[in-house]
Amino acid sequence: MAKNKRYTLDFRVWFNSDEEKLLGKGRVELLERINKTGSILQAAEGMKMSYRQAWQMVKEINERAKSPLVEKQLGGKNGGGAIVTEEGKKAIEQFHKLENNVKAFIQKESKKIKF
């Protein structure tokens, strides 16, 4: 007796740079939060990460990217802020666009599941 279940195809996508992980869902969220708050600390807190974890992640992203996606800003009213560069903003935008394209394709493929 077959149970009444619904099968679907699910997915995750991420950008690689020379075969190494550059940006996935979590890291894109981190960039978006840095872009919004201008602060790695505030972005980290919003994601329940430590500053250290967030900073390590930013460092890895910048090392693997063609050019930095995040830049530290010295001085200013709050000291030590950070901004997302133009390349970083493009990366965020393209991640969402490609993820949506894949999502639409996956939804079509889902309908082919039969077992």
Q: Give the interface with a second copy as residue ranges (CB under 8 A).
A: 1-19, 21-22, 64-67, 87, 90-91, 94, 97-98, 101-102, 105-106, 109, 112-115
**Of 52, 61, 68, the residue nearest 26 (C-alpha):** 61
Nearest approach, Cβ of residue 5 and a second copy (Å): 5
Closer residue to a second copy (CB): 23 or 44: 23
Nearest approach, Cβ of residue 30 and a second copy (Å): 16
Closer residue to a second copy (CB): 15 or 51: 15
Compute CA 42 distance to the chain's CA centroid, rounded to the nearest angstrom: 16
Cβ partners under 8 Å of residue 110, min gap 6:
7, 8, 9
Closer residue to a second copy (CB): 29 or 45: 29
Nearest approach, Cβ of residue 82 and a second copy (Å): 18
What is d(CA 114, CA 4) in angstroms, rounded to the nearest whole number? 13
Instruction: Record the tokens describing residue 61, joined without a space.
Output: 């992203």
Residue 31 near residue 91, CB atoms below 8 Å? yes
Ramachandran angles phi, psi of 83, nearest 5°: -125, 155
Closer residue to a second copy (CB): 12 or 52: 12
Nearest approach, Cβ of residue 47 and a second copy (Å): 22
